[in-house]
Amino acid sequence: MSNENDNKASAPIALTQALASFDALWSPHIVTRVNDYDVRVAKVEGDHIWHVHEHTDEFFLVLDGELSIALREPSGERSVTLPTGSVFTVPRGTEHKPSAPDGASILMFEPSGTLSVGDRHDEVPGHVDATTGHAL
């Protein structure tokens, strides 16, 4: 069954304006959808939590600043550092913990409905938004 919005062209979205529209950290906002995926932007600073997405990879693009992602893999623990303009995909089932000591702005691709804290996670502190993404 077709939705009436399926054939409507959307307007361009300026990511700088999208990011300027909110202040909350670790609180992804949905800028658009591609098929069954959300394109989300978030402002991040400090540490997120260790978490796992059991059924989906997680794509990160650093728009501004620097993001580090600690990974717990079968071969051991490691960390990747993503400067502005870098992309990285965390494979499904990999426990990971993003952090940005000096703050960053990021863009993520995730299936619609994916929780920002994954399927399994550490205790969620008050500064972390356990959400499927907020509308802009």
Total number of domains constituting the chain: 1
Alpha-carbon gap, residue 43 to 35, rounded angstroms = 24
Q: Is position 53 within any domain?
A: yes
What is d(CA 74, CA 107) in angstroms, rounded to the nearest whole number?
Answer: 27
Q: Are 71 and 80 within 8 A, CB to CB?
A: yes
CATH code, domain carrying 80: 2.60.120.10
> Which amino acid belongs to residue 9?
A
Query: Considering the domain boundaries, does residue 9 fall inside one?
Result: no
Give me the half-sphere count of Cα atoms (radius 13 Å) on the Cβ side of residue 95. Answer: 12
Question: Domain residues for 122?
Answer: 22-135
User: What is the predicted pLDDT for the residue at 114?
Assistant: 80
Average pLDDT over residues 120-129: 62
The answer to the question of residue 7 being in a domain is: no
Q: Is residue 57 part of a domain?
A: yes
For residue 132, what pLDDT is reported?
65
Is 86 within the bounds of a domain? yes
Whether 11 is covered by a domain: the verdict is: no
pLDDT tens digits for 46-62? 998 898 989 999 999 99
Whether residue 8 is contained in a domain is answered as no
Helix, strand, coil tally for the chain in percent (to 5): 5, 50, 45
